[in-house]
Chain A
Amino acid sequence: MNSGDIAWMLAATALVMFMTPGLALFYGGLVRKKNVLATIMHSFISLGIISILWVLYGYSLAFGTDVGGFVGGLNYLGLKGVGLEAGPYSDTIPHILFAAFQLMFAIITPALITGAFAERMKFKAYLIFTIAWTTLVYFPVCHWVWGGGWLGEMGALDFAGGTVIHINSGVAALACALFLGKRLGYGTNAIAPHNVPMTVLGAGILWFGWFGFNAGSALAANETAAMALFVTQIAAGAGAVAWIIGEWFYQGKPTTLGAASGAVAGLVGITPAAGFVGPMGALVIGIGAGIICYFAVVAKNRLGYDDALDVVGIHGIGGLWGALATGLFATAAIGGVDGLFYGNPGQFGVQALGAVVTIVFSFGVTAAILKVIDLTVGLRATPEEENQGLDLSEHSEVGYTW
């Protein structure tokens, strides 16, 4: 045990927890005001649902004894044997603290997907979806990379979850957007954000929490954590600047929402690479994320699928860019592994394989889950409920009384 490591990981766990309410505000500001609470609720209640799953069986499926490289075993059901002593994943912090830290990642990942089906999904369907998706997609993929599964064994680098969290949720979001269809009036009526300041506040909270997300993924108060924190800041800042420059050239105005979106894109991009790249690598990753994600979002408007809050464009594409870029810019001087630009082209191949398998698995299982829910309880709110707004129709409350 190391008290410095324990102190940092306690703080980092709280920082990552704070990202989910931040995400709630980030998303809440982007919807119309009749759906603000329903949208915030999707993220917020994930803090509750996933905590319960995690204790009962989630931690075990993700981090239990490996079963065929695919999923964790049932040896940690009910967190049996997960306690104060150091666990198999870190010698210097209590096992229960590792489980707490990882829980916060499991909470935010399904919350990220909710941006894709915002403003039109029934709350009951959302609850079933979140439980099923986290169980059937998140826990296995988390195991593949961090729990002793096949991807981690193969040497795929994913420091804080570019593949596990961002590609995974982004691809699930694409399946949701395609399966649920467009919001009523999409493409004909103006469906604009109702509170951009709320979204910018949410982005700020995400940015702040991300230091725990990335630097905490070192699982220790050490040199790697320091570099991970620094590159997180560089990539986020570069992403914000790159996005507004992109839109300034392409559409004539730099927007506040663009700055906030670009910062999040930069954070997504650096997530797998933090701990493996240096500041210059982070700069390139951040700039690339800002530009690539901006054009991915513009492309969505042309392609016409209604990924309401751009989970695909920012988390899916940004996560893919980050996973691949890690295979380019990783340097042994920082994380012990070289990428393509440091003479190790094989790493790029491993990164690409991890991304592709995750994309196929996540899309397929997500589509199957959606199909089953659609045939049983139904996914979409009725047109009347959608027009009225989900705050009233699903929750009997409104965000604003003026």
Chain B
Amino acid sequence: MKKVEAIIKPFKLDDVKQALNEMGVTGMTISEVKGYGRQKGHKEIYRGAEYVVDFVPKVKLEIILDDSQVDAVVDIIVKAANTGRIGDGKIFVTPVEQVIRVRTGERGTDAI
């Protein structure tokens, strides 16, 4: 099992979710996060004082998958979240040791 963690532009969330639904991914967890990489932040002005805000708002999706689905899901996210401009985000894939469904106690891929 793998965890796919994707950091994307917030306004692309609906596109990504719809594309994943269409290919049968049935669940995900998202969080609103802030961060920066190569994309620069922005300037804010309050009463003449300028502030450079480095941390840019992003959305992080976390999806747990069977190994066989990972490549297809990654491709879908890359396609749906792409704008071609800097700041489109990153995807991390990491191994998951165990998954347990709280309601039934099922383990492994059955619990995904």
Contacts and interface: CB of A to CB of B under 8 A. Distances in A.
B45 A253 contact: yes
Contacts of B45: 247, 251, 253, 255
A75 to B, nearest CB: 45
B46 A192 contact: yes
Nearest to A187: B49
Contacts of A250: 48
A148 interface: no
B44 A258 contact: no
Contacts of A298: 48
A294 interface: yes
A193 B49 contact: no
Contacts of A190: 51-53
A192 B51 CA distance: 8
A376 to B, nearest CB: 34
Interface string B24-54: 0000000000000000000011111111110
B48 A294 contact: yes
Contact of A193 (B46, B50, B52, B53): B46
A261 interface: yes
B46 A257 contact: yes
A38 to B, nearest CB: 20
Contacts, number: 29
- Chain A interface main SS type: helix
Contacts of B49: 301
A251 B47 CA distance: 10
Interface residues of B, number: 10
Contacts of B47: 255, 257-258, 261, 297, 310
A250 B50 CA distance: 12
A310 B51 CA distance: 17
Interface string A287-325: 000000010011001000000001000000000000000
A294 to B, nearest CB: 7
Nearest to A301: B49
B35 to A, nearest CB: 16
Interface string A99-138: 0000000000000000000000000000000000000000
B41 to A, nearest CB: 10
A251 B44 contact: no
Interface string A266-303: 00000000000000000000000000001001100100
A4 to B, nearest CB: 42
B89 to A, nearest CB: 24
Contact of A255 (B46, B52, B53): B46
A297 B50 CA distance: 12
Contacts of A196: 46
Interface string A223-262: 0000000000000000000000001001101010110010
Interface string A33-67: 00000000000000000000000000000000000
B48 A301 contact: yes
A261 B53 CA distance: 23
A257 B48 CA distance: 10
B32 to A, nearest CB: 11
Interface in B40-79: 44-53
B1 to A, nearest CB: 32
Contacts of A310: 47
Interface string A353-367: 000000000000000
A171 to B, nearest CB: 20
Nearest to A314: B47
A368 B52 CA distance: 39
Nearest to A196: B46
Contacts of A257: 46-47
Contact of A297 (B48, B51, B52, B53): B48
Of residues B44, B46, B50, which shows the largest number of chain A Cβ atoms within 10 Å of its Cβ? Answer: B46
A300 to B, nearest CB: 8
B53 to A, nearest CB: 7
A307 B47 CA distance: 12
16 contacts: A190-B51, A190-B52, A190-B53, A192-B51, A193-B46, A251-B45, A251-B48, A255-B45, A255-B46, A257-B46, A258-B47, A261-B47, A297-B48, A298-B48, A301-B49, A310-B47
Given A255-B47, A301-B49, 8 more contacts: A192-B44, A192-B51, A196-B46, A247-B48, A250-B48, A253-B45, A257-B47, A297-B47
Interface of A: 190, 192-193, 196, 247, 250-251, 253, 255, 257-258, 261, 294, 297-298, 301, 310
Interface of B: 44-53
